[in-house]
Structure 1
Amino acid sequence: MIFREAKINDIKQIQIVRNSVTENTLSNPNLVTDDDCVEFITQRGKGWVCEIGNEIVGFSIVDLKNKNIWALFLKPEFEKRGIGRKLHDIMLGWYFEQTRANVWLGTSPNTRAEMFYRKTGWTEIGTHGNGEIKFEMTYENWNKKSTAGNTV
């Protein structure tokens, strides 16, 4: 299992992962283009992938411009192995090295993702988009978790 920064040539596999999920699915897969992915991992922020046997099984992308988590997804068959948590922690560690600004994300209610974010210390602050729950992480809350030894 290898965790590393995402590269442009990873985008085809990133798109496969994104479109394999069974929760928080895209209503139209064409809404997230390869060009969007390039912009987010090279200009707006950074991304990471988890690779097993040359196959990308999960990825995360953070957007410094809008101060939000743009993506954190795993292929369903690779859930519950700690991969999502590791991608999450790498991403937030990097984000808070760049800025101390709060970071937010939106996710569908009543999903495993909602429970994951609650468990990892995110605070619900309202709604976003089409009924998604909006969560926020502060530098202070992240720093408490990371200094307590709960991150990578």
Structure 2
Amino acid sequence: MQFREARADDIAQIQRVRHSVNENVLSDPALVPDSDVLDYITQRGKGWVCEDGERIVGFSIADVKGNNIWALFVEPEFERKGIGKKLHQLMLDWYFSQTDKTVWLSTAPRSRAERFYRKAGWTETGIYGKGEIKFEMAKEQWGNNH
């Protein structure tokens, strides 16, 4: 497995991974067009991918302008191999090298993602949108965990 920064020519594979997941499924794939992905990895923040050969099997995207984690997804058949953990580390190390501001994310309750973020040291701070759990991570928390 190789990890590297995401590029514009990765967007088709990033979208394939995003649509392959079993949890936090997009209700309408048109809600996240390629132009949004491009904006988040080139203007608003940065993204990372994990490749198995030429195939992208996971990705993460941090939004430094909105102070949030925009995405962290791994193809179901590649889960439980440490890919999400490494993408999470790369993303948060970069995020906190750019700003001291607390970062937030939201995810579905009772999901593997919820358990992942709790184990990674995120703090639940409430409800976001239509019933998702909102989590936050302060720079000090991240520094103390890594």
SS of corresponding position for 2:105: strand
In the superposition, the TM-score normalised over structure 1's length comes to 0.96
Unaligned runs of 5+ in 1: 147-152
Q: How high is the TM-score relative to the length of structure 2?
A: 0.99
Residues in 2 aligned to 1:139 and 1:64: alpha-carbon distance in whole angstroms: 13
Distance 1:17 1:53 in 2: 15
> 1:114 deviation in Å?
0.1
Aligned residues with identical type, % of pairs: 64
* Structure 1 segments (4+ residues) deviating >2 Å: none
Secondary structure of the equivalent of 1:109?
A: coil
Pair 1:71-2:56 in alignment: no
Instruction: Output the amino acid matched with 2:35.
Output: D
- Corresponding residue for 1:131? 131
Compute the RMSD of aligned alpha carbons: 0.3
Q: Which residue matches 1:29?
A: 29
**Counterpart position of 1:103:** 103
Secondary structure at 1:19 match in 2: helix
Partner in structure 1 of residue 15 of structure 2: 15
- Following superposition, the deviation at residue 53 of structure 1 comes to 1.1
SS in 2 for 1:130: coil
Structure 1 residue 9: deviation in Å?
0.1
Distance 2:50 2:59 in 1: 6
Q: SS state of the match for residue 71, structure 1? A: strand
Matches within 5 A, 1:44-59: 44-59=44-59
Q: 1:149 matched to which residue of 2?
A: none
Aligned letter for 2:51?
Answer: E
User: Which residue is equivalent to 1:113?
Assistant: 113
**DSSP-derived class of the 1:133 partner:** strand
Is the aligned partner of 1:90 residue 2:78?
A: no
